[in-house]
Amino acid sequence: MEIRKMEIITSKSNQYIKKARSLQEKKYRDQEGLYLIEGLRLAEEAVAADVQLSYGFATQRLIQSPRGSELLQKLAHLPIFWLDDGLLAYCTDTVQPQGILLVAPKTANDPAPLLAGGKSFWILADHVQDPGNLGAILRTGWAAGADGVIIMAGGADPYNPKTVRASMGAIFNLPLYLAAMDAEALALIKKAGLDILVAAAGGQCLYHKADLCRPMVWVLGSEAEGASRFWKSEASTTVRLPMSANVESLNVSVAGGILFYETLRQRTSK
């Protein structure tokens, strides 16, 4: 579909408005192979990471700020539709959108980064359900030097707008692999030569005593159930975090942050 640059849209019935609004739902993101990037900060992160973009929407509010004006200059090559604040809000799930909404093709599922070898450190999200938690795992993993993230089907969608926002740019920079089945993910992990470490209550080893300098993947389980029996059975080590009496578990993204930074600490202290 050809898009005319700087076209003004005023109606909710416009085909591009309807498509953007539909991308709030996973069904349509999967169908179209597209997702939304909402807000000034995320749009800047996407541009900095050279994310491929399809088209965008902007309001007059954006061009009135120096940051917004600079961003639009960097997006001069991109078809942009102009609309008012109310119509932009209609396309997003934020109460007060920041004047910019971009549409981008999904890029997950190239296995090459996972199979590249080397001293890899990957993360596997085993049915993490909350989009905010998944986004925080991506964000912290990126900051701690993870090489990529495997996401099991049945959990939160990494392209959910809440996940994209919570990732704070990590989704543009970390390779993602969406695995439909445990066996699929396991085959890739074995082919890549990664040891499997599972975070689990009652794990065999305290987190700071595990060898985290080897090529490995951290498995983080769902908020309610923890890691599945399948991944525990495949683990070379199950790892636990010390906790006060009567405390059963930590938030999965908080636990991940501790484990990822211990991994970074061990790898940078040798």
Residue 217 lies in a domain: yes
User: The domain spanning residue 204 has which CATH number?
Assistant: 3.40.1280.10
Pull the structure tokens for residue 92: 């997003």
CA distance 196 to 139: 21
pLDDT in tens, 20-56: 999 999 999 999 999 999 999 999 999 999 999 999 9
Given this model, what pLDDT does residue 29 score? 97
Sign of the torsion formed by the C-alpha atoms of 253, 89, 38 and 127: positive
Which H helix or E strand runs over 227?
A: none
In a domain, 1, yes or no: no
Using an 8 Å Cβ cutoff, are 123 and 218 in contact? yes
Residue 49 lies in a domain: yes
- Low-confidence residues of the chain, pLDDT below 50? 1-4
Q: What is the CATH number of the domain that holds 16?
A: 3.30.1330.30
Q: Are 102 and 37 in contact (CB under 8 A)?
A: yes
| 170 plus 134 within the same structural domain | yes
Q: What is the pLDDT of residue 5?
A: 52
- The residue to which tokens 């809440």 are assigned: 162
Q: Which of 51, 82, 105 is the last residue of a domain?
A: 105
Same domain as 119, residue 95? no
Look at residue 2 and tell me if it is in a domain: no
- Alpha-carbon distance 198 to 265, whole Å? 18
Pair (100, 158) in one structural domain = no
CA gap 63, 100 in Å, rounded: 10
Give yes or no: residues 20 and 118 share one domain. Answer: no
CA–CA separation, 57 and 55 (whole Å): 7
Is the CB of residue 157 less than 8 Å from the CB of residue 131? Answer: yes
Q: What is the pLDDT of residue 132?
A: 96
Domain that holds residue 28: 7-105
User: Phi and psi (nearest 5°) for 225?
Assistant: -110, -20
Question: How many structural domains are present in the chain?
Answer: 2
Residues 70 and 162 grouped into a single domain: no
- Is 237 inside a domain boundary? yes
Tell me the pairing of strands 55-58 and 100-105: antiparallel
Whole-number pLDDT of residue 228: 93
Q: Please name every residue paired with 197 in a beta bridge, in sequence order, or none if there are none.
A: 218, 237
Handedness of CA 190, 191, 195, 196 (dihedral sign): negative
50 with 118, same domain? no
